Chain A
Amino acid sequence: MTGTRGGFEALDPCVHCGFCLPACPTYLATGDENDSPRGRIHLIRALERGEIQPTDRALVEHLDACLGCRGCEPVCPSGVGYGRGLEAARVRLAAAGRLPLEVRAILAVFARAWLLRPALLLARWFRATGFPDRLSGHSPIQFLLGMLASTTAGPSGSTPKPAPATRGRVALFRGCVMDGLFGHVHEATRRTLAANGYEIVEVDGQTCCGALHDHAGDRAGAAALAEANLRAFAGRADFLVVNSAGCGALLKDLPHLIPSDAARALAAKVRDVTELLAAAGPRPGAPLAERVCYDAPCHLQHAQGIHREPLQVLNAIPDLEIALLPGFDRCCGSAGLYGVLHPELSRAILGEKVAAIAAATPQPSLVLTGNPGCLMQIGAGLRAAELPIGVAHPVELLDRSYRAAGYYH
C-alpha cells in the first residue's frame, strides 16, 4: 500500500553504519545484533528477497522482540524508515499465519466492543476493591496487578466554568483502554481543553484505533477498525484530540491503512492533547511545588515527532520542577502487547528506567507520560521496586493546577 514494495523500500537507505544500535532498547538489553534495528533490517531484507521464509522461527522471534518504538529512526543519518519496513515484514508474517494464538485472542477482543467493555468493566471493579494496589509487586502476576493499580485516578469531579470557546471544536478520541481504565484522563483532557478555549464534542460510534492489530501485522483487522472510526469522526470537528500517544500515532497515519482523501483529511486533524494545549499557551495554573519527571512515549516522540509540547504544558504550572532523567527518551518496554508476550525482555528494559528514577536525587513524586501502556508499565515497575512514586498523564497534573487556580466549579 505504501510505495511499490509494500514498505520494504523504506529500508533501502540503510548503509549498515550501526548508529541506531545504542538507541534500541532490545539491543541494549541483549547485546545481540539480531535484536538490533540494523540486524532486523538485515533479516527483513532477506525476508523480502525470499532468502528467509516468513515462517522461520528465528526470524519471527527477533521481529516479535521488536518493540516497534521507532527509537531507531531519529538517530539514523540515512533516514531509514524502520517502522514502515517492520510493518511490511509483519504483514508478511501475519499472512503466513503465524500470529500466536494468544495474540489472535487478544486482538479479537480489542476488535469487538461487546467483548472488551465488560472485560474493562470487570477490571475497573477489581481495581476499586483496592486489591491490585495492595498486592502489586515483582512476580508476573503481581506485576499485572501493579499495571492495573497504576490506572487509578487522582481526585477529580468538577466542571469547568464556562469560558468563551474560541479555539475550535474538538472531538475526543476515547479509545478502548483509555476509555475503560483512564476515564479520569479523559476528564482532565476535557476540562483543561475547555479551560483553554476549546469546545468539546462527544462522538458516538467510535472504536479502538487498531494500533495493536496494525503492529501485529493484522492489517485487515486494523483497516476495519480504521474504517469505523473514519465513519464516526469524518466532518465532526476541527480537531480530533487524542491523549494516548499510541492511538494518536496510528490515527495520524490513517492513510497507510485507508488510502483515501477522507482518511487523509481526518488524519490531518488529529492532535495530541499536548499539542492543542501548547498551541493555546497554555493558560497558566496555580503553583504546584513538586518535583516530577517526564518520560517521553515512543509513539509521541518518534512516531509523531512531538518533543516540546508536553513540557510546554507542564511549564504552565508555576513552581513545578521538571526533571528529564537519563533514558527519559527511551522505551519503557510496554509497547502494546509486548509486555505480555515478552515479559522477560520487557521487564529488563523497564528495569533500566526504574533504576534511573530510583537513582534521581531528590526523588520525584510523580512520573508523567502521555500513553496508557507506558503509565501502566512504569507504574507497575515503580510498585515492584517499592518506590513511593506515582504515575500520571501530564494533563492530569495541569488539571490539578487548574483546579487549585479555581478555574473549575
Chain B
Amino acid sequence: MSVSILESLRSIAKSAVISGPDGVPVVRPDSAEAIAAVLGHASEQGWRARVEGRGSWMPTDAPADFVIRTGGLDRVVSVAPADLVATVQAGATLETIDQSLAAHRCWLPIDPPGGDSRSLGSVLATATAGPLRHRFGPVKDHVLGTTVVTGDGRIVKAGGIVVKNVAGYDLTKIQIGGFGAFGVVVEANLRVRAVPAARALVVATGTLDLLLDQARLLREAAIDLASLELCSPTLLGGDRWTLIVQATGTAPGVAAEIDRVRSVASGASFEGLGPGQASRLNRAVAQAALDGPVSLRAGVLAAGTPDLVDTLGETIGHRRLSASLGAGGVRWVGNPTEAHVRALRHRFAEREVPLTLERAPWAFRRAVGHFGAFREGVRPIAARLRSTFDPKHVLVSAIEATE
C-alpha cells in the first residue's frame, strides 16, 4: 500500500517525496498549495498523515500512511522593523528566525523548552512558552495571523499582519496549542520587539522554600521583570534550587530593577551573570526539557505554585521542574506512568488546574491525551471543531485520550 501512496503522492505533490526510514513515504512540500494538494488527496483516500517539524515535539512515532515534513517551508518571508512584525514559514527554526530578526534589530521574545532548534510550527502547535512568558505572555500573544492548511486541503487565512485586528473570528487561536488537530500551520505573522537596549540576569540558589519566599517578595514589590523562573536541582544538575531573574529595557531601568531585586531579597543573594554565562544558563534550562520522554505543564497561578510543586514532589518527584513564579505555570519533565498522569490530573482538576501533556511517545499520548478530561461542555465543541478543520481525521493527533 505504501508504494501506491508513494506514487500517488509523487504525482500530486509538486515537491520531493521520499521513502522514509520505516518505509512510510515522506513529503517535503515547499508551499502551502503543495500541502493542500497532498492533504486534499489524502482526505479523499482516507489516508492518515503525520506532520513533523524538527521531529522532537510533535509525534514522530505515530502510525500514519505518510509524513509531511515542514522543513521545506523554512523561510523568514519578511521583517518590517518599523512595524515590528515579521512573516515566517512554520518550518523555520527559532535560530533562523532570531538571526533574520537580529539583522533588523528585532527580537522574538519566545524561549521555549527545547531551545533554538525548534521549528516555529511546533512551538505554535504545542503552545510551549518559556521563562520570558512572565513579561511577554503566552505563545498566542506573539501571533497576529496564520495561514493554515486544513485536513482536507483548504488554505485558510486568519488574523492579519497588523498588531490590532478584530475582523472575523480569531481562528488563529485554535491552531496555537491545538497539537496539530486543526490543520497544518504553514505561515505565521508574528509580532516582534525591538532588541532591548539592556538585559540582565541574576540568579539565587537555595532551598525550595527560601526561593519561593524570595519570589513572593519580588512579586509583592511589583518589580518589573522579564522572567522569574524557578528551576529544580535536577534540571540544572546540582543539589540546590535556582531562581533565575531576568530584566530587559533601558539601561538605567534594568539597573534599577536589579538593584531593587537585591534590596527586596531577604536571606538569599542574587549573583549577576555576564552575557555569555547568562545565555548558557538559558540554553541549559531550555535543553533540560528534552532530558526525559515526557513533558507536562500545569496551568497554575503563581499563588498556587508552592502547593502544586509539593504535590508533584510527593507523587512523581520534582525531577526536571521549572515554574514561572510570576506569570504562573509549571513544567515537569521526566518519565511518569500513565496512571501517574491520570491521578495528578484528577487531583489538579479540583483546583481548576489543567495538566497538559506537551510531549511524549505516541502510545503515551494516545492513552492519556494531551488534555485528559475536558471541562463541562468542551468535548463536543472540540470534536466538532476537529471535524470542521479535518473532516476525515487525516491529521494524526492525540487531542483526545483513548480511555
**Chain A directly contacts chain B within the complex, with at least one CB pair under 8 Å:** no
